[in-house]
Structure 1
Amino acid sequence: MAGEPQRAVLVLTRAYDPTADAVLRILAERQVPVVRADPGADLHDGAVLTARYRAGGRLGTLRTGSRTLDLDRVRAVWYRRPSDWAAPPGVHGQDAEFARTQARWGIGGILAKLPGAHYVNHPWRIRAAEHKPAQLDTALAAGFTVPDTIITTDPEEARRFCAEQPGGAVYKPLWNSSYRGRDGRPLQVWVAEVTAAEVTDAVAACPHLFQARLAKAFDVRLTAVGTRLFAVRIDSPDLDWRRRQDLLTYTPIEVPTPVRRSTARYLRHFRLVYGAFDFAVDTDGRWHFLECNSNGQWAFFPPPTTDAIATAIADQLQKGHPA
């Protein structure tokens, strides 16, 4: 309809997010209306969300300090990095837990059901795709090469697996849980080599993931935005390249056709628009799937790659839901 205002893009992220800023600058240059919000924090700082359900449909609004957004006229939602759900300041104990739970299921439920909106990615799809066992199953079905892997709570099975790997084995956490040392400082659990003799009975306490160590020549981070793929070779002195990122070398690299096909199948299975895939490439040039982060970072690449990914995401948000 002539004169009708453009449908807005809703960006859900924290107040400080340079990665989001890279995309928002492009949308601003294109004069695409954008509302940026961090529901876990903003709704305790003056923002208001309302949804009314009645015969004939639903009406919803999100009011921030500067904008009022009609939730039924959202073109696209970029679920970037919003804060965790939190209780209002001064609320503690069971009351705080109750408030957090109501926010997650209430506000989260409203924002996950915006009619006609194109999600990049939908929060429920992100969560479904975060489980490593589901990733491994899907990667195999999609045709990726996957290193021999075991997830177990049996110490003997873990020792047997590690002893059977001709090139050795590594341990990986199934989730990057918050962990602090005795001094209170946060600790990161990195991918680490492990021998059968080092596996203790503590494996029985929770599931552990062990994987065959590859004769790795280099790593690859492949960022997929719809059908557009951006692959970067990562050369690192460490087994886990994330450990010392100041020592990394990034080089754009072509994606083999079989990997392209498997990437499309993988994204289709989880109904994802975006995915950050990690591969280890062995000395024979084979790409081995390690994991896919459905909400992974990408703005640490050299500017040409970062700019290309930002443009691809802006394109997805601007076009809205596919016809």
Structure 2
Amino acid sequence: MPISPQIVLVITSIEDATANLVIRALNERQVQVARVDPADIGADLMFSARIDKDRTKWTGRLRTPSREITLEEVGAVYYRRPSLWRFTELERQAQQFAVTEARHGLGGLLESLPVCRYVNHPADISEADFKATQLQVAAQVGFKVPATLISNDPEAIRKFVAEHEPTIYKSFRGAPSTLDGHVAAIWTQRVTQQDLDDSLSVTAHLFQEEVRKVADARVTVIGRTVFASRITTPDGALDWRSGDWDALVYDAIDVPKPIKDALRAYLDHFGLAFGAFDFALEACDSWTFIECNPNGQWGWLPGSDAMAHAFADVLLEGWWP
């Protein structure tokens, strides 16, 4: 007799406070939740799955120190931010092998659960995570986007900066963690011709014309529900993330219908159920698309409790009684 789905699987690290909000909302509805961090593979995470000649889907089990679940029990996956694979006890070559095998084995299995809704699916997150893809799709669905150059050609970069002053530079992914585990950041910054030299050829860079904004907007779309906050910095900072977050001013903001329509088209293009959008707001009420994080943070925003319940709605839709 087939097993009925009855569990939401939350794939994330133990430190993920944003996932905690969704887990709490699910618990309030008496939904069974299993939290798994794939990086725990080993004694703290054992798994086994098989597919047989007379079956078309994987069957198997996941076991953590606190519980054991069958793959067929999983009705939905909230895919958040699992830890990086570890295997720190292995030598470098063996570590690289173990990481690759775990990613393709356990990781591949967690992306192929038999009857399951993903918010969002890891493959869709990966596709939607590239800034070059984001900007092109944003323009195609009707968003206004800033003039942008992606290049490692110093001559092309100097020409772009000359044409679009003031110009900003922003990193694609931010700085990696330091050896002692501290997280670094590279904030959006203005650049001039004097900042440019031939070392630009070493890697790829993203430059954009600066949007003359008066504020920013963070628009969080969960299923068909849209949450929007206007974010104002007291000092008019170029990048609101770079200062004192406690000093930021949040105001509810209405999202114009053309923007809402484009939000939906953008997410549908990538097959996403959730996206955290950033816009620059100009004095003329013009909205300029900056980026969309397909796995972004939202727990710090006003209305986070309502957002958590919106996530629960999307995760449970269609299979939970």
Q: Equivalent residue of 1:231, what SS?
A: strand
Give how far 1:15 is off: 1.1
TM-score, with structure 2 as normaliser: 0.93
Report 1:129-144 matches (<5 A).
129-144=128-143
1:174-230 deviation digits (Å, cap 9, x = unpaired): 22240649x996431110000123211111111111000011010001001111110
Q: What residue in structure 2 maps to residue 278 of structure 1?
A: 278
Out of 306, 309, 315, the residue aligned to residue 308 of structure 1 is 306
Report 1:1-323 matches (<5 A).
7-41=6-40, 43-57=41-55, 58-87=58-87, 89-166=88-165, 168-178=166-176, 180=178, 186-236=183-233, 237=235, 238-244=237-243, 245-302=245-302, 305-320=303-318
Q: Equivalent residue of 2:190, what SS?
A: strand
Question: Is this contact kept in 2: 1:147–1:214, CA < 8 A?
Answer: yes
1:247-299 deviation digits (Å, cap 9, x = unpaired): 21111111111110110110011110110000001111100000000000001
CA distance in 2, matches of 1:180, 1:68: 36
Question: Is this contact kept in 2: 1:146–1:288, CA < 8 A?
Answer: yes
CA distance in 1, matches of 2:200, 2:93: 33
Q: Equivalent residue of 2:78, what SS?
A: strand
CA distance in 1, matches of 2:63, 2:181: 38
Amino acid at match of 2:129: E
Residues 144, 120 of structure 1: alpha-carbon distance in 2 compared, 3 angstrom cutoff:
same
Question: Is this contact kept in 1: 2:5–2:319, CA < 8 A?
Answer: no
Amino acid at match of 2:73: R
Question: Is this contact kept in 1: 2:4–2:72, CA < 8 A?
Answer: no
Most deviating of 53-62 and 121-130 = 53-62
Q: Equivalent residue of 1:46, what SS?
A: coil
Q: Equivalent residue of 2:241, what SS?
A: coil
CA distance in 2, matches of 1:269, 1:255: 20
1:130-172 deviation digits (Å, cap 9, x = unpaired): 1100001100111000011111111111111111125x11001
Amino acid at match of 2:304: T
Q: How many residue pairs align between the two structures? A: 314
RMSD: 1.9
Q: Equivalent residue of 1:119, what SS?
A: strand
Q: Equivalent residue of 1:54, what SS?
A: coil
TM-score, with structure 1 as normaliser: 0.92
Give how far 1:67 is off: 2.0
List runs of 5+ in structure 2 lacking aligned partners: none
CA distance in 1, matches of 2:44, 2:177: 33
Question: Is this contact kept in 2: 1:225–1:275, CA < 8 A?
Answer: yes
Q: Equivalent residue of 2:313, what SS?
A: helix
Give how far 1:91 is off: 1.5
Amino acid at match of 1:209: L
CA distance in 1, matches of 2:89, 2:147: 50
CA distance in 1, matches of 2:318, 2:94: 39
Give how far 1:64 is off: 1.6
CA distance in 1, matches of 2:84, 2:128: 19
Residues 6, 32 of structure 1: alpha-carbon distance in 2 compared, 3 angstrom cutoff:
farther
Question: Is this contact kept in 1: 2:170–2:207, CA < 8 A?
Answer: yes
Question: Is this contact kept in 1: 2:276–2:292, CA < 8 A?
Answer: yes
Residues 31, 150 of structure 1: alpha-carbon distance in 2 compared, 3 angstrom cutoff:
same
CA distance in 1, matches of 2:319, 2:130: 26
CA distance in 1, matches of 2:184, 2:272: 30
CA distance in 1, matches of 2:110, 2:11: 10
Q: Equivalent residue of 2:242, what SS?
A: coil
CA distance in 2, matches of 1:74, 1:109: 16
